[in-house]
A = this chain, B = another copy of it.
Amino acid sequence: MAESRTKILLDESQMPTRWYNVVPDLPAPPPPPLHPGTLQPVGPDDLAPLFPLDLIAQEVSTERFVDIPGEVLDVYRLWRPSPLYRAHRLEKALGTPARIYYKYEGVSPAGSHKPNTAVPQAYYNAKAGVRKLTTETGAGQWGTALAFAGALFDLECEIWMVGASYDQKPYRRTMMETFGARVHRSPSDLTQAGKAIRADDPEHPGSLGIAISEAVEVAGQDPQTRYALGSVLNHVLLHQTIIGEETLLQFEAAGETPDLVIGCTGGGSNFGGLAFPFLREKLAGRMSPAIRAVEPASCPSLTRGVYAYDFGDTAGTTPLLKMHTLGHGFVPDPIHAGGLRYHGMSPLLSHVYELGLLEALALPQTECFAAAVRFARTEGIVPAPEPAHALAACIREALACRESGEEKVILTALCGHGHLDLPAYDAYLSGRMVDEDVTEERLAPGLTGLPPVPAGA
């Protein structure tokens, strides 16, 4: 049954009140994080300097569902449930018999899916008596989300922003400051990690890995300060499942079932948030969609990385995470989708990939921006560069359906708008954008610095 509406909305009374944890439904448990010193699985005590106990409990939870606190639901209602759109105009422009749906997270205060986890992270920290949160941000979407959440729960928020982005994206910094956060250019002189790098190169452009090292270092020094991460970890993906849970209800209201679920992957939280509830339904035999992750050709952790234990940051201060990684010393080309420029992939998503439960695909950025412009001129929304990758994969599939005549139902996550990414559009429209690929030399032996981990770990 085809849905004729443009938007499928839920009333806030229909908003799901539980997050979904995919772990107990998987055929095998994911490998645990390891302590970098002992190479033993980390325990709650190892994580307590960085995260409050509620979040640590969620990180290792084997419960299928976790109740969303009322205070978090109250904030979610500022923008949730988010709309599910039927892309009638894009379908028509493509001449495809496929039916394309997109779940739009750009309606949030930060303009992306990131507040879905920033809000509960701020809530649990405030509840634990924490006074200040530190974090890193690359393109600025995560920092904006945490700044917003911090404002609501009266938490100070101190953000290390990757130097190159700090210099090139002053608007993003202003948005974080509007929400009340303090923003530092990383590497900074405020940390040992930053100082060490600046000693070699005072103008160092920074990286996400370096900014993480700085934020973690500062959080570890003060008992009333904790650290917040915007992707990669289990509790982050857990919070993002509100996306997929809402979408299931919306598909039910539309009388549709997806044949294909497509999302973009950087650290993996947007993709996991959309896909895991659908994976549950698939594992239970209630539907059978293909599930496809799309990553940039210039940072192809799932498609060309190795599955190994690696650090989450550059300085090597985090626990070791088993994930698809390009090596924590890998420096991605400066592509415009800053949210996808991370050397590793969520361990949980990596595990699901290893189990053969999802497909992965890497796309060059000019194809993604061409898709984004096509989308803007038909559907009206200017997408962020990250979901432009998912849209490009949708368009590939829709055009294949035009050839085959298949009426596939395609679902994707439009995880944010591109209002603060317009310089990348300018680069594309003016022909200055080039596709950069990763040469084999950089990948092998480019997987630098992986620590020795016993084969059995």
Contact = CB atoms under 8 A, between A and B. Distances in A.
A174 B381 contact: no
B12 A77 contact: no
Contact of A109 (B178, B179, B381): B381
A381 B148 CA distance: 9
A401 to B, nearest CB: 23
Contacts of A174: 422-423, 425-426, 429
Interface stretch (A124-132, A308-316, A372-380): A372-380
Contacts of A108: 380
Contacts of A65: none
Give the copy number.
2
Interface in A85-142: 85, 89, 107-109, 111, 115
Contacts of A178: 373, 376-377, 382, 422, 425, 429
A7 interface: yes
Contact of A419 (B74, B107, B420): B420
Contacts of A361: none
A64 interface: no
Interface in A212-238: none
A5 B417 CA distance: 26
A177 B109 CA distance: 25
Interface string A361-399: 000000000000100111111100000000000000000
Nearest to A13: B5
A180 interface: yes
Interface string A1-40: 0000111010110000000000000000000000000000
B6 A78 contact: yes
A170 interface: yes
Size bin of chain A's contact surface: 35 or more
Contacts of A111: 419
A107 B83 CA distance: 11
Contacts of A79: 380
A260 interface: no
A323 B443 CA distance: 68
A6 B417 CA distance: 23
A75 B381 CA distance: 12
B376 A179 contact: yes
Interface string A163-200: 00000001100110111100000000000000000000
A151 interface: yes
Contacts of A11: 9
A152 interface: yes
Contact of A89 (B115, B152, B382, B420): B152
Given A107-B107, A175-B425, 15 more contacts: A5-B12, A9-B9, A78-B380, A108-B380, A109-B376, A109-B380, A148-B380, A151-B376, A151-B377, A171-B422, A171-B423, A178-B422, A178-B425, A179-B376, A180-B377
